[in-house]
Structure 1
């Protein structure tokens, strides 16, 4: 089979596409013919050697994939050959075939496309965990989403709306904000041309947002936190902006507010049943039209580096996928 290989921690352009041995399903595993692999910011960081976990070299990037089971290992009874599935494996997805623990694999309905299915585990899973488990977002709350046109950001816009929140989307261009409006944002802020604090004050009558979802970090963190409502929850999701910001600790004190960490990867490992419930709910929402994940580009296996470069440069709108099997 063909697979993308990372032989040294370096820029995405150093990745190669090689012919390697087909995987075999060990006990408790399945082998999936990969039709789509989601591309995420952690994939790019892993290639650079800047992620929390460094896989042994060489490795194949890509943490989530959808496709069809072509082999089932011993001890697996709930999955079968020919079944359409999605899997979260942390590595290995940028390949024509992927071996995965059966516990990491979930059947998908026929109405769900492979492209969309491959976008759900990490970005939408993170947004679900953030808003439901960590922020306890309630109907009627005001939610501010920073970096709202990216994978996690746009997922948070859709999920926040599905949960009954008033959603304010903040992004860097009017085109990105138009996409956010099309997917449920009630109000938008272009934080390159407008004052984030002034607009939030005007949009919330000076009260501020109850929940802030921040997958970006960087320059707007402190400004956003200074605008948070009394008792608000600030979700620290990631640092796609490239900078890990500092926050004066008197600000949470003055606002009676909470800084809440969101680490979906640990949640997925520690609470698999809760994560599976979120994924099932997400698939129901996609099928019934409550949410509509955006797949803005499809890259062939040979262009995996270009997909990761677009992710690093924050040019991705919604989600993009690598397509090993066309």
Structure 2
């Protein structure tokens, strides 16, 4: 038997339980193409908050949250795989002690990789790689990085730099926070939304024009999306990859779409990685594997057991971006 978190009703923390499932039933799904992973840890991600709120229209209760995890392969028809460390992403949920995974949705890890950090080693790293891939596809000279203070925002900043792109980082915070990010990111192009909206938009427009930042990455939504979109240079693309604000996109000026030739598009790393050529997919995963202990290493804020899911979810809703919370399995 193994344990898993199960959500039986949206928007109700009292309807979230830990239940036991048969490992023998899981083994029945084992074939030549997959393997069983003994989960070490699984993070709480913004996508999980959307799932708990019921805003993912394809999701039905009951379900197990979680979109990624780290662990060790314990059963496989290919005996050479047993004992290998992996970071995995599955759409059947990862807040559980055992999962079925495939090579396609796994990244094999080096022996020296910390499995706590590697539990966040799939979604954010490949999202960062995918967004920069799209920016290069659109021949951008610079990108706009919203919520740049987050763990993913930090990855985007450094990956943009490694790829020869300037990065305009948009954060929340006062002047001290701005200076801290400038120093940490080694990038002077940092502005904060914590100011008068007109002043922010004027400052943003000037910097975006100066840098020729024609691709913007938006995980926030709400009115900020409209402010950014309306003040990007002509022929720009705003890529929406999240909705941290839990608000609908607001304030997009139709004139900017028609006459400034701007457009908005959505992005998920699931869809992106399936859409690119196999060679690019392999290179992207190899890049993450090689830099798991450096560029893509994630600082863990707090860890909980599955039975502490209420405390974990409560804290997750309170902490600021960049502070990762994980479930660690007790086997």
User: TM-score under structure 1 normalisation?
Assistant: 0.85
Give the match for residue 143 of structure 2: 143
Aligned pairs for 1:1-326 (under 5 A) are: 1-22=2-23, 23-24=26-27, 26-27=30-31, 28-55=33-60, 57-72=61-76, 74=77, 77=78, 80-133=81-134, 136=137, 141-174=141-174, 177=178, 178=180, 181-193=183-195, 195-204=199-208, 209-246=213-250, 247-271=252-276, 273=278, 274-287=280-293, 289-312=294-317, 315-325=320-330
Given that 1:32 and 1:71 are in contact with CA atoms closer than 8 Å, whether structure 2 keeps it comes out as yes
Given that 2:5 and 2:64 are in contact with CA atoms closer than 8 Å, whether structure 1 keeps it comes out as yes
**CA distance 1:216–1:162, shift in 2 (3 Å):** same
How many angstroms apart in 2 are the aligned matches of 1:118 and 1:165?
A: 28
How many angstroms apart in 2 are the aligned matches of 1:325 and 1:81?
A: 20
User: TM-score under structure 2 normalisation?
Assistant: 0.84
After superposition, what is the alpha-carbon deviation per residue over 1:16-71, rounded to whole angstroms, capped at 9, x for unaligned?
A: 2233322325213211111121322222222222213214x432211111110111
How many angstroms apart in 2 are the aligned matches of 1:293 and 1:154?
A: 10
Given that 1:196 and 1:224 are in contact with CA atoms closer than 8 Å, whether structure 2 keeps it comes out as no
The structure, 1 or 2, with the larger RCO (C-alpha pairs under 8 Å, 6+ apart) is 1
- Secondary structure at 1:159's aligned position in 2? helix
Given that 1:145 and 1:167 are in contact with CA atoms closer than 8 Å, whether structure 2 keeps it comes out as yes
- Secondary structure at 2:96's aligned position in 1? coil
How far did residue 310 of structure 1 move?
Answer: 4.5
**CA distance 1:308–1:316, shift in 2 (3 Å):** farther
**CA distance 1:272–1:181, shift in 2 (3 Å):** farther
After superposition, what is the alpha-carbon deviation per residue over 1:157-196, rounded to whole angstroms, capped at 9, x for unaligned?
A: 2322222222222222247653575245432222113532
How many angstroms apart in 2 are the aligned matches of 1:252 and 1:110?
A: 49
**CA distance 1:120–1:276, shift in 2 (3 Å):** farther
Unaligned runs of 5+ residues in structure 2 are: none
How far did residue 98 of structure 1 move?
Answer: 1.6
**What is the CA RMSD across the aligned residues, in angstroms?**
2.9
Unaligned runs of 5+ residues in structure 1 are: none
**CA distance 1:142–1:250, shift in 2 (3 Å):** same
How many angstroms apart in 2 are the aligned matches of 1:307 and 1:155?
A: 24
Given that 1:218 and 1:243 are in contact with CA atoms closer than 8 Å, whether structure 2 keeps it comes out as yes
